[in-house]
């Protein structure tokens, strides 16, 4: 049946669906500064932004917290029908530890954080988008052991290994009206892992200027899991052996490499201004592929691939911090994040659009304790698309808010 062929062939299950690399999920200080932090990198979130920055911390330190991600999306069809996603909150964590172990120039660190965040959308199971997506959730986690070395007072370098975990679930309904039966449901659950590396450099040619450069490699992940079909129409049950069908699946994905360049300027002791350019090479998501262990060709349930055609993008970020007192700082920032997703592969599970992110926050430090807070509003450009998947207009917005706590020993 071709309706099942289409449902399996339009595969956008194994790509990030909400957050973006370098997004506000790595630490409250950097997030408050619009994530323009590559040339600042003066707390332990340097493990995520620029590992060379670890040399700015002495002794043994920990820094961790979470970001609360609250997305919302609405869809309007060509005939005027409208639908909104259900309310959801995601909270990607971050936790960092680093020490010099009594050495003068070396730093050793370990970061556990979510590189692409955690996110997704949940649509009404009777709504306009139900045959393409009723829900999805995407989560990633990096475990990142790192070493940094201060070559001279003006130059530090860092490097680390990345072990990545990736988990994705997705649901959609199956239109069985032609067979005189109610909608079926298709659900996929998959998990994968992979290895990569990261490098960083921090140059301070002048006491008022620092330059940061960071690179994270691509990571190849082979997701494995299962696909479940439920409430299969009686006319199709002889092909599937009943009203439910389960098969193991696999899906390869190559997560993008990321190149970041930043400059920080301190015109006076209390003020820091930062600027970052970041290239995310999303072209690694050229196609999506889903392989089924058990196929039912008569019903169109076979291994398939579909084009994604994502493109590389440059993100532009600005940040600022002002020390009101020795203990209290206020921060703000902005990030321009172009969408890598072309119009012909936009779909309800990932109706991405270009973002304008505005952030603010504060930090308080007393003795060995640090507390950082931020809020970011993510404004997406409205996006109207006409494609073979689903024509219509998407509107997105996302709230980010988070805290980080640090302690030095």
Give the pLDDT score at 2. 43
The stretch 377-402 carries a mean pLDDT of 93
Domains in the chain and their CATH numbers? 2-408 (2.40.160.60)
For the segment 371-378, the average pLDDT, to the nearest whole number, is 97
Q: How far is CA 269 from the centre of its chain?
A: 34
Average pLDDT score over residue span 382-387:
92
Share of the chain above pLDDT 90, in %: 81
Q: Are 397 and 373 in contact, with CB atoms under 8 Å apart? A: no
Q: What is the pLDDT of residues 225-252, one digit of tens each?
A: 999 999 999 999 999 999 999 999 999 9
What does the mean pLDDT of the chain come to? 92
Pairing of strands 392-408, 383-385: antiparallel
Report yes or no on whether pTM surpasses 0.85: yes
**70-113 confidence digits (pLDDT tens):** 999 999 999 999 999 999 999 999 999 999 999 999 999 999 99
- Residue 307 confidence class, pLDDT cut points 50, 70, 90: confident
Distance CA 362, CA 331 (A): 6
| Residue 12, pLDDT score | 46
| Bridge partners, residue 168, by sequence | 138, 190
What is residue 381's DSSP assignment?
A: P
pLDDT digits (tens, 9 = 90+) for 186-215: 999 999 999 999 999 999 999 999 999 999
Report residue 249 CA to chain centroid gap: 23
The predicted pLDDT at position 364 comes to: 98
- Residue 14, pLDDT score: 54
The total of other beta-carbon atoms located within 10 Å of residue 223's CB is: 22
Burial of 303 (0-12, 13-18, 19+ CB in 10 A): middle
Compute the Cα dihedral for 69, 313, 340, 192 and give only its sign. negative
The predicted-structure confidence for 111-136, as pLDDT tens digits, reads as follows 999 988 778 889 999 999 998 889 88
- Give the pLDDT of residue 272: 98
* Three-class secondary structure of residue 166 per DSSP: strand
Average pLDDT over residues 19-41: 89
E-strand ranges in 17-128 read: 60-76, 82-84, 93-99, 106-113, 118-122
């Amino acid at each position: 049946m071709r309706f099942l062929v289409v449902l399996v062939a339009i595969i956008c299950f194994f790509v990030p669906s909400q957050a973006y690399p370098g997004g506000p999920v790595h630490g409250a200080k950097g997030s408050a500064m619009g994530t323009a932090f590559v040339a600042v990198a003066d707390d332990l979130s340097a493990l995520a932004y620029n590992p060379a920055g670890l040399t700015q911390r002495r002794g043994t330190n920990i820094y961790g917290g979470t970001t609360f991600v609250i997305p919302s999306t609405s869809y309007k069809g060509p005939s005027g029908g409208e639908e909104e996603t259900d309310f959801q909150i995601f909270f990607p964590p971050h936790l960092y530890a680093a020490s010099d172990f009594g050495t003068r120039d070396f730093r050793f660190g370990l970061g556990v954080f979510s590189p692409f965040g955690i996110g997704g959308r949940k649509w009404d199971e009777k709504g306009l988008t139900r045959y393409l997506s009723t829900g999805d959730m995407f989560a990633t986690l990096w475990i990142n052991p790192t070493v940094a070395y201060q070559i001279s007072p003006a130059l530090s370098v860092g490097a680390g290994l990345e072990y990545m975990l990736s988990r994705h679930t997705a649901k959609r309904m199956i239109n069985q009206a032609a067979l005189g039966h109610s909608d079926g449901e298709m659900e996929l659950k998959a998990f994968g892992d992979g290895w990569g590396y990261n490098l960083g450099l921090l140059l301070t040619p002048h006491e008022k200027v620092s330059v940061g450069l960071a690179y994270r490699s691509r990571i190849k992940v082979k997701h494995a899991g299962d696909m479940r079909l439920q409430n299969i129409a009686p006319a199709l049950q002889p092909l599937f052996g009943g009203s439910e069908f389960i098969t193991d699946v696999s899906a390869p994905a190559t997560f993008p490499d990321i190149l970041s360049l930043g400059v920080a300027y301190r015109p006076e002791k209390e003020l820091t201004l930062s600027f970052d350019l970041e290239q995310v090479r999303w072209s690694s998501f050229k196609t999506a592929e889903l392989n089924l262990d058990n196929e039912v060709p008569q019903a169109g349930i076979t291994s398939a691939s579909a084009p994604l055609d994502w493109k590389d993008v440059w993100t532009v970020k600005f940040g600022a911090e002002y020390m009101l007192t020795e203990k209290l700082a206020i921060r703000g920032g902005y990030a321009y994040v172009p969408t890598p997703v072309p119009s012909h592969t936009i779909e309800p599970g990932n109706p991405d659009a270009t973002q304008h992110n505005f952030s603010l926050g504060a930090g308080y430090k007393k003795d060995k304790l640090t507390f950082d807070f931020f809020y970011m509003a993510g404004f997406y450009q409205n996006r109207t698309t006409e494609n073979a998947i689903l024509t219509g207009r998407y509107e997105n917005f996302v709230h980010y808010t988070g805290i980080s706590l640090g302690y030095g020993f």
